[in-house]
Structure 1
């Protein structure tokens, strides 16, 4: 263990490591604990200076008990921090390991929310805090009303077609407004919600600038290779998904040969439902509060990457995802997409993707990278 701690010290402070000297105040430790728990977890080494000098700690306090009290009483909600004492170069170092939190967001008893960015911890911005509340299921951005929007920004033909499935006619404008408020397409102030605009808007990108899909096909395995095709797909979510699926299918080349005047496919390929599932997941579960980036589909010779802004919710891990566990970051969008038959209500989508990939001898990769979620389908 001392070799591991020594290696951490040699790395210097970074996104996952923080140094503190013995005289550190409990509030400073609480700040770092909350910041690590709110991001990807990390380790606090007490007894090491910012310049990586091993100063050590003495026996003036029971360090395990001191750390445990801070994690229980100075963090809301309390966290479970593992504390061990190791000896390096004849000096004692207190190593405090803070896991990535499952109950984000965490705040200190000073009512401050901190996050870890690089080698420093800072107070979360409003947008960052909103994302943490989204991940915790305490706030749903798709229910948010969009200023300066109204009924005129909705495709009433599409809305009428949707409700006709349930034998509901929308003729009277007063009744229509009430219906759309009750189904979360409009807010009480009659602004269109994020979900309403994405599903039934005439042009959602007028107000949600990057709520679109960017597709790029490269002639090779890297971003620097020649670009074969590039498209930005806009419109409502059903249109984006259907169009992106058509573009993908058009760009997937199949090896074939001619036998008895017939073209025979030689190579195996994924069924369309695999691509559709990953496109639907990207659109339905992305974080639309992140305005600076689109969903990106990167098509290489050996893989297709489906990249969606936003991380997995607190309670969902990669392994749970593969087993069919899901959580609706955008519950209103999910509700409508289920009713429009884009989502399997039995949560069989990702397990199906894994199954189909394994039939072809591949293992799909699901991972988080920064504030994005990536699904990588080998070819």
Structure 2
């Protein structure tokens, strides 16, 4: 009775399949609707069709689900009291006959049928199998998507088998010649990293170390690389995995548009082995981020990127290391909007990982690849990367990262990680590459210090010589700061506001010319116009 009282105190949508199974009665089953946990089936269902639902639940993370037999789709209880013993036995044996790999428990729950007769329903509890893609007796496999049963095609089945380690895609040999087809510098760095950690391997040859780290096998003195080895070290992994790429998109606005409203203003394709992908994409992202400065209470200027490095770099690494390479033709996307940075990677979350437990659950999809990244000092393998993302965003007073899985509509899923900035709170801003504001040709002639000054002026409205000197500590003297500002005036990128009658005007400052100002509601720069 206590258990039932606790369940009713808990909202029905929060009950787990185990909660429901353990405490199921007529009142609880009527309260529940068909959803990600429960499926209703009428009396006329055949054991073969039930086998499809057992497969579906066994392949559906994180908990599998429940099937109620003797309950109509509209929630009415027809009950099973009119069945013969043979009919009842046939249904109760259906998991073993039609889906023997599924782990299924069942029990009868007493109910009062809609015609008023004492009856019962049969409740099946199918548990998720993390180690196997479960097929029916006819060789088909299913999964739950939303509130519907979806039959997997062979490509989807293989993807699920890779995720569950039934098929070890990383260990499959590839048709590349070692060392001719490989980046020897990356291999050298890896070997050094391994030997630094594993002292007993000091006297081993390079190919022996690669074999010991499960990146291939040696046969007749010849090293035969596998898929993981190709992804990490091959000069051109795209010939084996056409989607081993990152496409960076800079988007004008907060929504991606198409057709006549197409608003992608910069596209940068990136190819190469995974370590190079990460390094090159990191350089591209860093070059596109805006930097903002503030004056601290101590009189010192502090600068910060619009997103913290640990957050976006970890998201980038995860996209490359934990994506599905079974989806060989699909690449990673990095999309930079005005208000957010979105990184999309092929394949859904690895088994057992959900948006709800992502900070606690560590279950790499490509463990051999990830271990190789560890010896190249690209990952930590401490299962704390997502926590570092969350904490670094919090430290900058930014929203927590958003993790979600989206379905493509053709059977494949994508993981999307979204980092949001505070662009809504910034009244004025300027692009870090200032190409949209100043023009591509002019922006190419700006150095990092000049861009930083322009960003500061756009954010704060103006700048004076003292502020410029504090903003860029590398400038040796006050005169260097003044010369930097005057150079921007000479280029037509700043306007010098000063008194023509005072030789050393303490109120002198610099603002953006009106033609270059990107206004927003309530812009703080309005007060300087016409000065």
Q: TM-score, normalised by structure 2?
A: 0.58
Q: Is the 8 A contact 2:56 2:142 kept in 1?
A: yes
Which digits, 9 at most, give the CA deviation of each residue in 1:63-118, with x for residues without a partner?
99987654577442413579868789769996967677243535357273411477
**Residues 108/328 of structure 1: CA separation in 2 closer, same or farther (3 Å cut):** closer
Aligned to 2:237: 204
Query: Which residue among 227, 231, 240 is the counterpart of 2:264?
Result: 227
TM superposition shift of 1:177? 4.5
* Inter-partner Cα distance in structure 2 for 1:162 and 1:340: 5
* CA gap 1:327/1:55 in 2 versus in 1, 3 angstroms: closer
- Counterparts of 1:338 and 1:329, CA distance in 2: 15
Change (3 A) 1:337 1:85: farther
Q: Aligned in 2, Cα 1:100/1:237: closer, same or farther, shift over 3 Å?
A: farther
Match of 1:254 in 2: 291
**Residues 59 and 207 of structure 1, relative CA distance in 2, 3 Å threshold:** same
Return the TM-score normalized by structure 1. 0.78
In 2, the alpha carbon distance for the partners of 1:38 and 1:192 equals 32
Q: CA deviation at 1:357?
A: 1.4
Cα 1:326/1:2, change in 2 over 3 Å: closer
Range with bigger deviation, 31-40 or 180-189: 180-189
Mean alpha-carbon deviation: is it higher for 85-94 or for 29-38? 85-94
Aligned to 1:186: 216
**Residues 319, 16 of structure 1: alpha-carbon distance in 2 compared, 3 angstrom cutoff:** closer
Aligned match of 2:512: none
Quote the residue 2:250 is aligned against. Answer: 217
State the partner residue of 1:107.
134
- Structure 1 match to 2:321: 284
Equivalent position of 2:431 in the other structure: none
Contact 1:185–1:196 (CA under 8 A) maintained in structure 2: yes
Q: Is the 8 A contact 2:345 2:416 kept in 1?
A: yes
- Distance in 2, matches of 1:327 and 1:98, equals 25
**Cα–Cα, structure 1 residues 263 and 3, in superposed 2: closer, same or farther, change >3 Å?**
same
- 1:256-312 Cα offsets, whole Å, 9 max, x none, are 5899xx995676633322222111111111111112311111222222122221233
- Please point out which of 60, 68, 72 is paired with 2:82: 60
Cα offset, 1:356, TM superposition:
1.2
- Measured in 2, the distance between the counterparts of 1:83 and 1:298 equals 52
> Of 151, 159, 163, which residue of structure 1 is paired with 2:187?
159
Q: Is the counterpart of residue 336 in structure 1 residue 361 in structure 2?
A: no
Which has the larger displacement, 270-279 or 142-151?
A: 142-151
Tell me the distance in 1 between the aligned counterparts of 2:90 and 2:129. Answer: 23
Q: Distance in 2 between matches of 1:59 and 1:266?
A: 73
Once residues 340 and 42 of structure 1 are traced to their aligned partners in structure 2, the CA distance between those partners, rounded to angstroms, is 41
3-state DSSP class of the match of 1:307?
strand
Q: Decide whether the 8 Å contact of 2:70 with 2:77 is kept in 1.
A: yes
Do residues 137 (structure 1) and 165 (structure 2) align? Answer: yes
Shift of 1:57: 4.4
Give the corresponding residue for 1:11: none
Q: Give the C-alpha shift of residue 333 in structure 1.
A: 1.0
Give the greater-gyration-radius structure (CA): 2
Corresponding residue pairs, total: 363
Farther-moved stretch of structure 1 (353-362 vs 102-111): 102-111
Task: Structure 1 unaligned segments of length 5 or more: list them.
Answer: 9-13, 169-173
Q: 1:90 to 1:234 in 2, by over 3 A?
A: farther
